[in-house]
Every structure is written in structure tokens, then in C-alpha cells.
Amino acid sequence: MKTIIKNIKWLLGCHDKAPARLCGKDMAVTPTLTDAFVAIGDGVIESFGPMSSCPAAKGDYVIDATDRFVMPAFCDSHTHIIYAGSREQEYEDRIAGMSYVQIAERGGGILNSADLLHATPERTLYRSAMGRVRQMMRGGTGAIEIKSGYGLTLEDELKMLRVATAIRDDAVISVKRTFLGAHAFPRAYRDNRDGYVRLITREMIPAVASEKLADYIDVFCDEGFFTPDQTRRILECGLEYGLRPKIHANELALSGGIQTGVECGALSVDHLEHVGPAEIEALRDSDTMATLLPGAAFFLGMNYAPARQMIDGGLSVALASDYNPGSSPSGSMQFVLSLASIKMRMTPVEAFNAATVNGAYAMGLNDSHGTITPGKRANIIITKPMPSLAYMSYHYTTDMIERVIFN
Ligand code: NIG
Ligand code: FE
């Protein structure tokens, strides 16, 4: 039995042959069809086209999308959805005037989440993270990356990655797992930072690799966190074990993180609130995706990444939620699209491409996700009736997603 979505008002992101990613000016357009259909069989997209050639036969399951937009599901390539408890006390502290860095320096922030995670059993972490996955799926997300990084000991990092692996095995949507032991320096290593780097390279990475618990490796390369030199040591070790980098860079300062990531062949460098001409130059002509996380800039009251300069400079930009308890407690990709357009001046089509085809690239899923293309997984959003794509991010607190299809 096939599933046929028919009478689609606008079908977006329908590429006969999908590009791996879109760069610069190419981000401003997406192939569209009006009065269209999509046919799905065995969990994959079989075909799409104008209604005049719709293949519907008796026995097919038919969805009528009159007045609706149909598009590929979002690919959220950067999240920290495995965590215990919540951090609204720090949110109140920031309202009272403290900064994210000050909170981290007094032992809060990521270390606060690490304490909570240490005290929480694996089963509880699994249940709460799965709840977030379901919530994100309802919001139109069809693939996610999940990071560790609230363990910060060998045992607790492995615990997080086991939870991520169980989610990958059980979830309906695709999941990629990233080892982020280098998220912060644990209290025991406050005055012995290189000692923690050695723990990561000598014990954590070999254990993660031998248990096959991760697809990628990440480091928080930024002022006050891991230096470019420490980052390089960790990433080079990860590469020896087959873990490609996807790193946090330039959230807090011009930290050298972007250059370090590009030099180490990172699949993506993420955050990028602090970017100048040298950083744009380093990214141009590289295979590294520039992934922007405007939810974190919004929640922490930071400057936004200069998306306009990056796209105008020819770069390939992706958008992700950064869903985490400290800097972005939301997995709403529709809100990310709104922030991208309202705060970073990305056009609605650029934001759509950044959250779909380029997001898929940023987690190595571009062969199977991110566009409406025959042979790709049928992970599809059907919107509520709306007049234009721009309406979706313009109407920024109204859920415009009526229905989602996975496989
Ligand atoms: O992407 N910048 C580092 N890591 C997370 C925040 C983690 C936290 O505060 O718990 C981020 O913003
Ligand atoms: Fe993050």
C-alpha cells in the first residue's frame, strides 16, 4: 500500500537529484511545485509531481493537502536533549544581572547539569529525553543529533551515550550521537586542565570508540573553556578512532575555534556568534558547515551570528535548536526559523534550506534526509492552511504544523 499526499498547494524542497548542501546565493531558492502530489511506499519517497500525473490507485492511503504546504521535515543537527532536572534558577540569576560565564565560573551551568545527571538513573534519563524527542517530532523534526557532555567522567559520559544509543535504536526518526566529554572542566580538574584533556584522549575516547557509542566528537572551544591547542589534541585523537569533529566554536569570543575546526576537517562548526572576516575566509571553500543556533543567542541575550555576511560571503549555513537546559531550553525549529529571519535577516527560504538540506549535511544524513527526493526517507511536514512560506515564521507563536509523517 502506498501513501499519497494529494492536492498540495505548494510542495517545497522537491529536488529530483538532491544537492549535498546549498551555499551562498543558492540558499535563496528551493525547487517548488504547485498543485502537486507526493507518493510514499516502504517508508521512502517514491515520486512527486503535478496532480495531473498523480498515481493514486484503489487501496492507497490518501491524504488531502488542499491549501497546505508540504516540505521535508527539519533536521536538527545540534541538541543536548539528554539531561536531568532543569536550570531555571540560573535563568532567574541572569534576570538579576549575572552572565552565563559568571554562573559557570561559580560552578553552576554545565557543572550543575553534570551533578544532576550523575544522580539520575539511566532509565529516567531515557524517559525524559524520549519525551523531548516526541515533542520535537510533533514540531516537525525528522532527524536529530544528540550530544553527551553532562557526564564529564568516564562512567557518566558512557552512561549518556548509552542513553543516546537506546534512543537511536528506539526512535522513529534518525539519530546521530556525538561525544562531548570536552564540554567543561570538571571541578576535580579546575587546576589541572591538561590532566582532563589527557583523561579524554587516553581513557574516554578509546572507551567510547570500543563500545561504538558515538558517531562524532565535539569540543567546546571557547574563551574560558577549551583552548584551540587542547581542542586540536582532542579532535586529532578522535579522528584516529574514526570520530569526525562537529564542534562548539566562537560562542563567547573570537576564540580561534572556527579555524581549528576547519583545520581538523570538522563536519560542522556551531554557534559562531563571534565571527569576523578571517573566520568567514577560513570557512569559504571548506567542507565544514556553519551551523547557527539563534535560540541560544535569544535565551542568553547575546549578539546573533552574522548570518547575512556569512551567506553573502558564499558560505553554507545550517540552523539547529541547541535544545539544552542552560542556554536554549526549546526544541522548536519553527521558532528557530522565526529567529533566523527576524534577528539574523535570513529570508524564509534561506532559513528553510538551512533547517532541512543543510541540517541534514551537518549530521551526515544528506543522502537520506533533508529534501523531497525519490529514494529518501519519507519524513515530511504538512502545514496548516497558510498563504505563503513566510507566514510560518512570521506568525511566530502559532504552531503552523498540522501533521507530520515519518517513514
Ligand atoms: O551549546 N556552549 C556550550 N554548550 C551548550 C550549553 C550547555 C549548557 O549551558 O548546559 C550550548 O549552548
Ligand atoms: Fe550546544
For residue 79, what pLDDT is reported?
98
pLDDT on residue 77: 99
Give the confidence band of 56 by pLDDT, cuts at 50, 70, 90. Answer: confident
Sign (positive or negative) of CA dihedral 335, 247, 380, 82:
negative
The answer to whether the beta carbons of residues 64 and 358 sit under 8 Å apart is no
In angstroms, how far is the first alpha carbon of the chain from the final one? Answer: 13
Quick one: pLDDT at residue 149? Answer: 98
**Distance in angstroms (rounded) separating the CA atoms of residues 164 and 315:** 31
Pick the CATH number of 74-361 from 3.40.190.10, 3.60.20.10, 3.20.20.140, 3.20.20.70: 3.20.20.140
Cβ–ligand 1 distance for 132 under 6 Å, the answer no
Mean pLDDT of 304-330: 98
Q: What is the whole-number distance in angstroms between the Cα of residue 60 and the centre of ligand 2?
A: 42
Q: Is 327 in the pocket of ligand 1 (CB under 6 A)?
A: yes
In degrees, to the nearest 5, what angle opens at C-alpha 65 toward C-alphas 63 and 68?
A: 150
**Minimum CA distance residue for ligand 1 atom 11:** 327
Question: Residue 78: nearest ligand to its CA?
Answer: 2
- Tell which atom from ligand 1 comes closest to the C-alpha of 270: 1
- Ligand 1, atom 8, lies closest to the CA of 326
Beta carbon of 296 within 6 Å of any ligand 1 atom: yes
Which of the listed residues 324, 328, 330, 336 should we mutate to test ligand 1's pocket, taking the one with most ligand atoms within 8 A of CB? 324
Nearest to 213 by CA among 226, 222, 223, 204: 204
Q: What's the chain's average pLDDT?
A: 97
Which residue owns the Cα nearest ligand 1 atom 5?
A: 327
What's the gap in Å between 300 CA and the centre of ligand 1? 10
The one-letter amino acid code at 163 reads V
Superfamily holding 3-73+371-405: Urease, subunit C, domain 1 (2.30.40.10)
| Ligand 1 pocket test, candidate residues 110, 113, 328, most atoms within 8 A of CB | 110
Q: What is the pLDDT of residue 360?
A: 99
Ligand in closest contact with the CA of 296 = 1
User: Does the pLDDT at position 311 exceed 90?
Assistant: yes
Write down the pLDDT at residue 254: 97
Enumerate residues 6+ apart whose C-beta is below 8 A from 55: 2, 4, 37, 39, 47
Strand 61-64 to 244-249 pairing:
unpaired
Query: Cα of 250 to ligand 1 centre, how many Å?
Result: 12
Judge contact between 248 and 270, C-beta under 8 A: yes
The backbone torsions φ and ψ at residue 147, rounded to the nearest 5 degrees and listed phi first, read -105, 150
- Answer yes or no: is the C-beta of 148 below 6 A from any ligand 1 atom: no
Query: Domains of the chain: which residue ranges?
Result: 3-73+371-405, 74-361
pLDDT of res. 57: 78
Report the C-alpha gap between 390 and 346 in whole angstroms: 11
Each residue's pLDDT tens digit, 103-145: 998 889 999 999 999 999 999 999 999 999 999 999 999 999 9
Q: Which whole-number Å values give the CA distances from 287 to 14, 265, 267, 269, in the listed order?
A: 24, 7, 7, 11
The pLDDT value recorded for residue 129 is 98
Residue 186 Cα to ligand 2 midpoint, Å, equals 17
Residue 183 C-alpha to ligand 1 middle, in angstroms?
A: 8
User: For the chain, what is the radius of gyration of the CA atoms?
Assistant: 21
Residue 370, ligand 1, Cβ within 6 A: no
Q: What is the pLDDT of residues 145-175, one digit of tens each?
A: 999 999 999 999 999 999 999 999 999 999 9
Does the structure show a pLDDT above 90 at 58?
A: no
- Between the CA of 78 and the centroid of ligand 2 the distance, in Å, is 6
> 82-107 pLDDT, tens per residue?
999 999 999 999 999 999 999 998 88
Rounded (5°) CA angle 181-75-142 = 110
Ligand 2 centroid vs 5 CA: distance in angstroms? 36
SS3 of the chain: the string is CCEEEEEEEEEECECCCCCCCCCHHHHHCCCEEEEEEEEEECCEEEEEEEHHHCCCCCCCEEEECCCCEEEECEEECCCCCCCCCCCHHHHHHHHCCCCHHHHHHCCCCHHHHHHHHHCCCHHHHHHHHHHHHHHHHHCCEEEEEEECCCCCCHHHHHHHHHHHHHHHHHCCCEEEEEEEEECCCCHHHCCCHHHHHHHHHHHHHHHHHHCCCCCEEEEEECCCCECHHHHHHHHHHHHHCCCEEEEEECCCCCCCHHHHHHHCCCCEEEECCCCCHHHHHHHCCCCCEEEECHHHHHHHCCCCCCHHHHHHCCCCEEECCCCECCCECCCCHHHHHHHHHHHHCCCHHHHHHHHCHHHHHCCCCCCCCCCECCCCECCEEEECCCCCCHHHHHCCCCCCEEEEECC
Give pLDDT tens digits for 352-400: 999 999 999 999 999 999 999 999 999 999 999 999 999 999 999 999 9
Residue 247 bridge partners (DSSP): 269
How far does the centroid of ligand 2 lie from the alpha carbon of residue 327, in Å?
8
Per cent of the chain over pLDDT 90 is 98
Question: 268-298, pLDDT tens digit by residue?
Answer: 999 999 999 999 999 999 999 999 999 999 9
Question: Residue 1: what pLDDT?
Answer: 82
Distance of alpha carbon 104 from alpha carbon 16, whole angstroms: 48
What number is the average pLDDT over the span 243-271? 98
Closest to 140 (Cα-Cα) out of 355, 365, 364? 355
Select from 90, 322, 323, 336 the residue to mutate for testing ligand 1; criterion: most ligand atoms less than 8 Å from CB: 322
Smallest Cα–Cα separation from 233: which of 250, 221, 215? 221
